[in-house]
A and B are shown apart, each in its own frame.
Chain A
Amino acid sequence: MAALALLLTGGGDAVSVSAPAGTRLAGRFAAIRGALGRRAVIALPYAWLAVFFLVPFLIVLKIAFSNIQLSMPPVEPVMVWTADHVLQLRLHFSNFTFVFGDELYLAAFVNSLQVAGVSTLFALLIGYPMAYGIARAPGAWRNILFLLVVLPFFTSFLLRVYAWMGLLGRSGPINALLMQLGIIHEPVQLLQTDFAVYLGMVYSYLPFMVLPLYSAIEKLDLTLLEAAADLGCRPAKAFFMITLPLTKEGIFAGCLLVFIPAVGEYVIPALLGGPDTLMIGRVVWDEFFGNRDWPVASALAIVLLVILAGFVLLLQRVQAQEGEA
């Protein structure tokens, strides 16, 4: 819609052209074509988002206000055309009251946020030195190290999680190695633990942390560190006073890129976690496919979206304030 409006205003410009000398007219047309071209370039991604994000979101929103019913799809229609020619809009808020009323869902939300938060923290603690090392590596090495970070993306995400199942299993290589070294005497339960979930999360999302950090650290002007040293600041202190504050944007971006998908993550807790690993992604899955309760699953998804959008907005506001100050 917005895209269409943009295109239409572009057309409006064309109408208002007064026609002086031929060359000037040609110039104007070229300028208008340029403006139209720019709008088209902007319109394209917006159109894509409208079709593949906004429309599905509206469908989910609709289902969230619907009610369960034995049919296909298993929900009541929200809008009904009654026999006496009345368009009836029926919104069930019961799904939301149910979601907020049940402690299981609350626990799932809290647990998801906690797992995602801790995973993000570890990804940051591991990712920052990695990104720093890559950014400071000599030219030829930098490309190789960079490639190594991106390399896991060449394999399917699912396959890599399955690989971890093999590695962490009772007879897997990690247990074998620990026994070989005499650290343990019988295999330990690694799979289906919270540890495995954290491991999988940090492993899977680490590249998303490293890439924005790398670009922020790489941009940092090294003469600033020289200036700090020149003014009597030791290197370790200069890291906290100069490097860290000036790469904050990269830290924010990396944390968002890890935290947001981690909150709703389904595959990792399902495959690596135990039966008691309660995460919201799994709960939504169970409601949707197990209970065939689409409205409650949709309501959960909406609540999750609102929470995450709140986080993003909060972070953006903090950043905007930092920029002004």
Chain B
Amino acid sequence: MNAVVGAGVETGQKGPAPYVRIERLTKRFGDFVAVRQVSLEIQRGEIFCLLGGSGCGKTTLLRMLAGFETPTDGAIFIDGVDVTQVPPYERPVNMMFQSYALFPHMTVAQNVAFGLKQDGTARGEIESRVQEMLSLVQLNGYEKRKPHQLSGGQRQRVALARALVKRPKLLLLDEPLGALDKKLREHTQFELVNLQEKLGVTFVIVTHDQEEAMTLASRIGVMRAGEILQVGTPADIYEFPNSRFVADFIGSVNMVEGRLIEDEPDHVRIECAQLGAIVYVDHGVSSPPDAPVSVAIRPEKIQLSRERPEQTDNVLQGVIAGIAYLGNATRYLVRLPTGFLLRVTAPNVFRHEERLEPDERVWLHWHSSSPVVVTR
């Protein structure tokens, strides 16, 4: 799914000049630094997700792109033009607000037409473009309604239509699906991606929902405390997190502390007291020996078995301490002899499967390429 979404966009930084370039952008509110020295390049036609918890600075960064906040330092270029000091009403950028911010005293058609009217577009063209936009978001027949007469999903589509009707160079979306319920959200995610592909507009999306970011984005920038920790495709971020925070923030992970005891170019061995074992990883780590490191292992990459596995490295024994049956998969908590609890997820491939029981003794093992070693 991610591959489909990201297919049109090269993930490498080389290629054509970046469409949006953010250079060492900083925003301070008094003593508080909301955004710290952020540099970022976004390609034309990309769906770029800024992902992070609340207060990480992602919304401030978005608001600087829209022009609502003036950067304390740094610069923003859109399509080669420095827009750092350009007021919001002159930027070739439109935003879809988290609250949608539809004008309550105007009808759906008036809301969508608002932006075009500001530009002095001819009346006939306004009408045809509003119609075109409304049919794109499947809201024909709702022109005369007021926002309070619409459902949440319809309002979201009006907000989208209003933001897209001016054909902006860049569309900013602040938690675009945050106010929708779960079922509607899943449906809308795909609509949003389809629309983006059809129009080719560059999207910058702010979200705190990692699943949303994974589904929508061609690339994700994970933010914490005003800084961007890692930028990459959803798969990059998931499989190759560059820090404890990213590994922990995206998806579920078993985070184990350890100490490098063998550091070769093609493999490392890490002593993990919590596991009571030595973890063998089949790639090198650029870190000083004896340095404290963390090993991140995803629950679905650990396998459980009643019989002793054939491999010799990365094999542990434990007792099933908890089982949660989720339908598509089963989530286990396995207690190791050290008392450490490991999370393991196993897909339910067969319907008549002899499932593991609570308190059963099991063997755990994983492939030596599965663990990710992070040093910060």
Chain A residues proximal to chain B, CB less than 8 Å: 221, 223-224, 226-235, 237, 242, 245-246
Asked if B101 and A231 make an inter-chain contact with CB atoms under 8 angstroms apart, the answer reads no
Nearest neighbor of B99 in chain A, beta-carbon distance: A223
Chain A residues near B351: list those with CB within 8 A.
none
Q: How many Å from the CB of B166 to the closest CB on chain A?
A: 7
* Cross-chain contact of B88 among A221, A223, A226, A246 (Cβ < 8 A): A226
A221 CA to B118 CA, complexed, in Å: 21
Identify 9 residue pairs between A and B in the complex whose beta-carbon atoms are under 8 Å apart, listed by A's number: A221-B101, A223-B101, A224-B103, A229-B67, A229-B88, A230-B93, A231-B166, A233-B114, A245-B105
A235 CA to B68 CA, complexed, in Å: 12
Asked if A232 and B118 make an inter-chain contact with CB atoms under 8 angstroms apart, the answer reads yes
* Cross-chain contact of B101 among A227, A233, A235, A237 (Cβ < 8 A): A227
How many residues of chain B are within 8 Å of chain A by beta carbon? Answer: 24
A233 CA to B97 CA, complexed, in Å: 16
A237 CA to B119 CA, complexed, in Å: 13
* Given A230-B89, A232-B90, 18 further pairs, Cβ under 8 A: A221-B101, A223-B101, A226-B66, A226-B88, A227-B95, A228-B103, A230-B88, A230-B93, A231-B118, A231-B162, A231-B166, A232-B89, A232-B118, A232-B166, A234-B89, A237-B118, A242-B103, A246-B105
Asked if B118 and A227 make an inter-chain contact with CB atoms under 8 angstroms apart, the answer reads no
Asked if B94 and A230 make an inter-chain contact with CB atoms under 8 angstroms apart, the answer reads yes
A260 CA to B332 CA, complexed, in Å: 74
* Cross-chain contact of A232 among B97, B104, B115 (Cβ < 8 A): B115
The number of inter-chain residue pairs (CB within 8 angstroms) is: 57
Chain A residues near B105: list those with CB within 8 A.
245-246
Nearest neighbor of B91 in chain A, beta-carbon distance: A230
Asked if A230 and B119 make an inter-chain contact with CB atoms under 8 angstroms apart, the answer reads no
Nearest neighbor of B112 in chain A, beta-carbon distance: A231
Asked if B101 and A224 make an inter-chain contact with CB atoms under 8 angstroms apart, the answer reads yes
Q: Does B289 contact A (CB under 8 A)?
A: no
Asked if A230 and B99 make an inter-chain contact with CB atoms under 8 angstroms apart, the answer reads no
A280 CA to B162 CA, complexed, in Å: 53
Q: How many Å from the CB of B267 to the closest CB on chain A?
A: 53
A227 CA to B102 CA, complexed, in Å: 8
Chain A residues near B178: list those with CB within 8 A.
none
Which 10 residue pairs of A and B lie closest in terms of their CB atoms, listed nearest first? A231-B115, A232-B118, A227-B101, A229-B88, A223-B101, A229-B89, A233-B118, A230-B95, A245-B105, A232-B89
A231 CA to B161 CA, complexed, in Å: 12
Chain B residues near A235: list those with CB within 8 A.
89
Chain A residues near B162: list those with CB within 8 A.
231
Q: Does B87 contact A (CB under 8 A)?
A: yes
Q: Which of B79-97 contact A (CB under 8 A)?
A: 87-90, 93-95, 97
Q: How many Å from the CB of B275 to the closest CB on chain A?
A: 49
The residue in A224, A228, A230, A235 that gathers the most chain B C-beta atoms within 10 A of its C-beta is A230
Chain B residues near A221: list those with CB within 8 A.
99, 101
Nearest neighbor of B88 in chain A, beta-carbon distance: A229
Contact A226 B97, CB 8 Å, known A232-B89, A245-B105, A246-B104: yes
Nearest neighbor of A245 in chain B, beta-carbon distance: B105
Asked if B114 and A231 make an inter-chain contact with CB atoms under 8 angstroms apart, the answer reads yes
A226 CA to B65 CA, complexed, in Å: 13
A234 CA to B119 CA, complexed, in Å: 11
A232 CA to B162 CA, complexed, in Å: 12
Nearest neighbor of A242 in chain B, beta-carbon distance: B103
A95 CA to B67 CA, complexed, in Å: 68
Contact A223 B97, CB 8 Å, known A232-B119, A242-B103: yes
A147 CA to B115 CA, complexed, in Å: 40
A229 CA to B89 CA, complexed, in Å: 5
Asked if B97 and A227 make an inter-chain contact with CB atoms under 8 angstroms apart, the answer reads yes
A229 CA to B66 CA, complexed, in Å: 10
Nearest neighbor of A227 in chain B, beta-carbon distance: B101
Asked if B114 and A228 make an inter-chain contact with CB atoms under 8 angstroms apart, the answer reads yes
The residue in A231, A235, A242, A245 that gathers the most chain B C-beta atoms within 10 A of its C-beta is A231
Q: Which of B39-70 contact A (CB under 8 A)?
A: 66-68
Chain B residues near A242: list those with CB within 8 A.
103
Nearest neighbor of B87 in chain A, beta-carbon distance: A229
The residue in A223, A229, A232, A234 that gathers the most chain B C-beta atoms within 10 A of its C-beta is A232
Asked if A231 and B94 make an inter-chain contact with CB atoms under 8 angstroms apart, the answer reads yes
* Cross-chain contact of B68 among A226, A231, A234 (Cβ < 8 A): A226
Chain B residues near A246: list those with CB within 8 A.
104-105
Asked if A226 and B101 make an inter-chain contact with CB atoms under 8 angstroms apart, the answer reads yes
A245 CA to B110 CA, complexed, in Å: 14
Chain B residues near A223: list those with CB within 8 A.
97, 99, 101
Nearest neighbor of B146 in chain A, beta-carbon distance: A325
Nearest neighbor of A222 in chain B, beta-carbon distance: B101
Nearest neighbor of B113 in chain A, beta-carbon distance: A231
Asked if B166 and A227 make an inter-chain contact with CB atoms under 8 angstroms apart, the answer reads no
Chain B residues near A227: list those with CB within 8 A.
95, 97, 101-103
Chain B residues near A226: list those with CB within 8 A.
66, 68, 88, 95, 97, 101
A246 CA to B93 CA, complexed, in Å: 26
A228 CA to B103 CA, complexed, in Å: 9
Nearest neighbor of A324 in chain B, beta-carbon distance: B146
Q: How many Å from the CB of A161 to the closest CB on chain B?
A: 40
